[in-house]
């Protein structure tokens, strides 16, 4: 590698290289903004110019969770060409796993005051906790499940799909079916996950009151740390030889196989890695928004994530983050003024990006920089 890096790069190549190696810049912006927001919320009084409202803090935390989910999609789609339209499945499962812990934390403070059963189970006249709720009163167990459940599902799905060499649009349709099936299943009351109301009315997390400003700020910082860590780890993977094999699989899988790489194994493990990131994003998302319901498994949600990545620019990691934050900011603004039109705006945005910015915002920016440099 040293020799490859030592070779002088010129013009556009140099500019792109500079952007690509921008991990320190990315982390500086991410943590800088997070710290400023945290300070603004905790250190400045409400009438100060620099005050950041708790609403904004939660909103930012939510955006960062979405950014992490977009990063997960970019890892498989942008680098390996696996267009997953079902990442909401892993996001939702991660969210449910943490949501179950939060439900158990409520204890006897629920409406029905049952120390053992969550409210919706009492409402359904259930007498005892289903076996799959065991252990979720322990944070470490829930945290393990946040990783294990999405990871195992991704492994099983990837094992079946990639070994059978399902690729392209067929794979995308299967991921849609996966997330849709989960939505239907979680809508059923008998599943024991709260039916269409989902899990909500959370009180505290690890003993911290979820309504407190400090907890909100803490969750924002945790989200920023998770995103930063995932970014660095993904950057490292993509910069290793494995990253080059993954891109080779994206561009010409039979050729990579012919070189002796077991491409299906690479795809399975990359898919699992991506699902873990999505699961973590979901787990951080739930305590901040205060609810998780089967709506998270709606196929449309998963497609939206792909739009974020496309808008930001795929195959760059930070493009996905930028896209997720920008589109969601637009969504927050837009739905406040004219909620019915949001889907049209989103569709229009997707078409516009596909036609005018095929490489997304980041690709367009790179082109500009490259032109300026040469």
Residues that bind another protein (CB under 8 A): 1-4, 7-9, 13, 237, 240-242, 244-245, 247-248, 250-252, 255-256, 258-262, 265-266, 269
Buried b (16+ CB within 10 A) or exposed e, 117-131: bbbbbbeeeeeebee
- Beta carbon of residue 8, minimum distance to another protein (angstroms, whole number): 8
**Nearer to another protein (CB atom), residue 75 or residue 327:** 75
Q: Output the CA–CA distances (angstroms, integers) from residue 132 to 3, 142, 188, 189, in the order listed.
A: 54, 11, 16, 15
Paired tokens of 289:
């928004």
**Nearer to another protein (CB atom), residue 68 or residue 270:** 270
**Nearer to another protein (CB atom), residue 240 or residue 335:** 240
Q: How far apart are CA 252 and CA 263, in angstroms?
A: 10
**Nearer to another protein (CB atom), residue 258 or residue 338:** 258
**Nearer to another protein (CB atom), residue 148 or residue 247:** 247
- Beta carbon of residue 163, minimum distance to another protein (angstroms, whole number): 15
- Beta carbon of residue 239, minimum distance to another protein (angstroms, whole number): 11
Tell me phi and psi for residue 72, to 5 degrees: -60, -40
**Nearer to another protein (CB atom), residue 8 or residue 45:** 8
Q: Helix, strand, or coil here: 308?
A: helix
**Contact yes or no for 79/238 (Cβ under 8 A):** yes
Among 75, 96, 95, CA closest to 84: 75
- Beta carbon of residue 132, minimum distance to another protein (angstroms, whole number): 31
Tokens 């906790």 -> residue: 129
Query: Could you report how far apart the first and last alpha carbons of the chain are, in Å?
Result: 26
**Nearer to another protein (CB atom), residue 157 or residue 266:** 266
Among 39, 61, 23, 33, CA closest to 228: 23
- Beta carbon of residue 217, minimum distance to another protein (angstroms, whole number): 36
- Beta carbon of residue 9, minimum distance to another protein (angstroms, whole number): 6
- Beta carbon of residue 146, minimum distance to another protein (angstroms, whole number): 23
Residue 343, Cβ density class (10 Å: 0-12 exposed, 13-18 middle, ≥19 buried): exposed
């Amino acid at each position: 590698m040293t020799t490859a890096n030592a070779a002088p790069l010129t013009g556009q190549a140099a500019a792109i290289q500079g952007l690509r190696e921008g991990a320190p810049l990315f982390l500086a912006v991410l943590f800088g903004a997070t710290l400023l927001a945290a300070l603004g919320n905790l250190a400045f009084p409400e009438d100060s110019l620099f005050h950041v409202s708790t609403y904004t803090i939660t909103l930012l935390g939510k955006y960062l969770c979405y950014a992490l989910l977009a990063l997960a999609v970019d890892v498989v789609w942008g680098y390996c060409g696996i267009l997953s339209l079902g990442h909401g499945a892993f996001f939702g499962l991660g969210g449910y796993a943490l949501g179950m812990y939060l439900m158990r934390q409520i204890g006897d403070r629920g409406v029905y005051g049952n120390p053992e059963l969550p409210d919706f189970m009492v409402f359904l006249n259930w007498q005892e906790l289903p076996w799959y709720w065991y252990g979720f009163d322990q944070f470490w167990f829930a945290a393990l499940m946040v990783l294990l459940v999405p990871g195992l599902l991704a492994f099983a799905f990837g094992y079946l799909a990639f070994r059978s060499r399902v690729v392209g649009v067929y794979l995308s349709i299967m991921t849609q079916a996966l997330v849709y099936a989960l939505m239907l299943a979680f809508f059923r009351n008998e599943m024991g996950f709260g039916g269409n109301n989902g899990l909500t009315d959370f009180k505290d997390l690890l003993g911290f009151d979820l309504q407190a400003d400090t907890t909100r700020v803490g969750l924002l910082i945790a989200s920023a740390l998770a995103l930063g860590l995932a970014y660095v780890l993904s950057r490292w993977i993509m910069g290793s030889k494995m990253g080059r094999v993954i891109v080779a699989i994206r561009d010409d899988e039979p050729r990579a196989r012919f070189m002796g790489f077991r491409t299906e194994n690479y795809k399975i493990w990359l898919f699992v890695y991506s699902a873990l990131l999505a699961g973590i994003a979901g787990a951080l998302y739930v305590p901040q928004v205060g609810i998780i319901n089967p709506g998270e498994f709606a196929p449309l949600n998963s497609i939206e994530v792909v739009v974020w990545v496309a808008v930001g620019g795929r195959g760059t990691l930070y493009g996905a983050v930028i896209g997720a934050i920008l589109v969601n900011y637009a969504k927050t603004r837009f739905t406040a003024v004219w909620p019915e039109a949001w889907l049209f705006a989103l569709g229009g945005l997707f078409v516009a990006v596909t036609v005018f910015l095929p490489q997304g915002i980041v690709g367009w920016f790179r082109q500009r920089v490259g032109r300026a440099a040469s």
